[in-house]
Amino acid sequence: MLIKTMRRVTILAMLLLFTLCSAAYAADSSDLLDVLPGKPGDVLTRSEFCAMLVKAANLQPAGQVAQWPADVKADAWYTNSFQTLLSTNILRGFLDGKVKPDQPITQAEATAFIARALGLPQKVLPRETSQLSIPGSHWAFTNYSWMVSEGLLTQVDAKKVLTPQEGAGLLANVFGTAEQCREITDKMETANKSITSMRMSGKMDMQMNMRQVGEAKDMPSSIRTTASMETELVMDKGMHTVMETSMSPGENLPQEAFTMEQYMTHDGMFMSMPDPETKQVTWTKIPSDVFPNMMDLLKQQTNPIPEEIKNMFHYRYLGEEKLAGKEVIKLAYYGEIKDLTKMIAALGQLGGQLQQSLDQTQGMLQSFSYAGTMYVDKKTYLPLKASNDSIVTYAAEFQGQPMPIETMQVNYDFTYSDYNAPLNIELPKEALNAKELSLTAPDIADSKTE
């Protein structure tokens, strides 16, 4: 039962990537220095950097702080900033429970704060890592790896104490193009409303990193799946996807290759793939209560993104270049989802039964992080290409059971074409007549490994 629920929640999280487009807003470095009380000193303190970070990233508090640090006075000028950063788990303090607001901030500490604010992965390294001047055992190594690989930081000096000007410059480099990105993404949002059809094609690489615990103690440490995908999307009819998939169940084990086909239409969600034993290809209908209404999810592409969702995303302008003979705008984007049910509810895509099901999974996912790059047609403001790294991090335990998956990494590179072309989505008879997948069969619902 556990793996079945994990599969449902994880796939639902991945589907959200196709529905979201937003921007964050920031000030330039001179505005950030205006946040400081009085004239900046020779070194930047932790409280001063935190105050500038809140303004630069337009961060909002996420509730009350359970335990207020003993070394922060209630009437301190930076109290509201600390309230925001503590409630969002960006500021975590030291082992003694203090946050040391007057202590000079190091580059490593500033890097960690920014990485957490952007939602960069905390447990998984990027696909391409640069040689860093700090050891892999350093507490900020993962944060540095992502910041450097994303071009957010070029010089690594973990012990360096920042000046106010250096701190403001670092924040401006990361968040300083947000107003420009807002103009671009607003135009993208308007352009999305005109989409009636499109094609997507590309490759996806997924790796599940396993915890060898409980019934999964004999599982391989990682399971990797790669796929080539071709998708046709017609907004008022649905989506059709063909995936050529190869799975590596572990080291020194043969790969398994198969083709999967999927339709999402007004008639429901249908999938075909070969039986692992007989190799016979059959169609199956997915129960309607497993996922939100897929047609409604497609419509979300043309709807305005709720403000509470926009606050989960940060964009960065990377300039202009040519792609396939077209002038394009290059944007980087980052974000993290910590509460999947609230996010889906904000999008208005949950039915009662599914909402109840997801409410019961609270605590299964620790976070869903993503970092990517998109290329936007400068003439039409429609995306032409996107690359994305997504990491789903699972809790160590859920409902008293050890979680067999620690993280799931998904990397994809997609191209988008044939906007508003005369495409058609027609469900095959074999799919329309398919039996609905049973989620209550003993081998699925009652298996201990599920």
Percent of the chain with pLDDT over 90: 49
> Could you give the domains of the chain?
2-22+181-445 (2.50.20.20), 29-176 (no CATH)
Q: If pLDDT is split at 50, 70 and 90, which confidence band does 302 have?
A: low
pLDDT score of 436 more than 70? yes
CA 186, 191, 192, 197: dihedral to nearest 10 degrees? -170
Instruction: Give the number of other CB atoms < 10 A from CB of residue 65.
Output: 16
How confident is residue 254, by pLDDT bands cut at 50, 70 and 90? low
Residue 349 scores a pLDDT above 50? yes
How many whole angstroms separate alpha carbon 277 and alpha carbon 275? 6
Cβ atoms of residues 235 and 261 within 8 Å:
no
Least confident segment among 181-185, 193-197, 208-212, 315-319: 208-212
The closest alpha carbon to 389, from 374, 367, 414, 411, belongs to 411
Is residue 28 very low, low, confident or very high in pLDDT (cuts 50, 70, 90)?
Answer: low
Q: Model pTM?
A: 0.84
Confidence of residue 400 (pLDDT cuts 50, 70, 90): confident
Q: Work out the pLDDT band at 42, boundaries 50, 70, 90.
A: very high
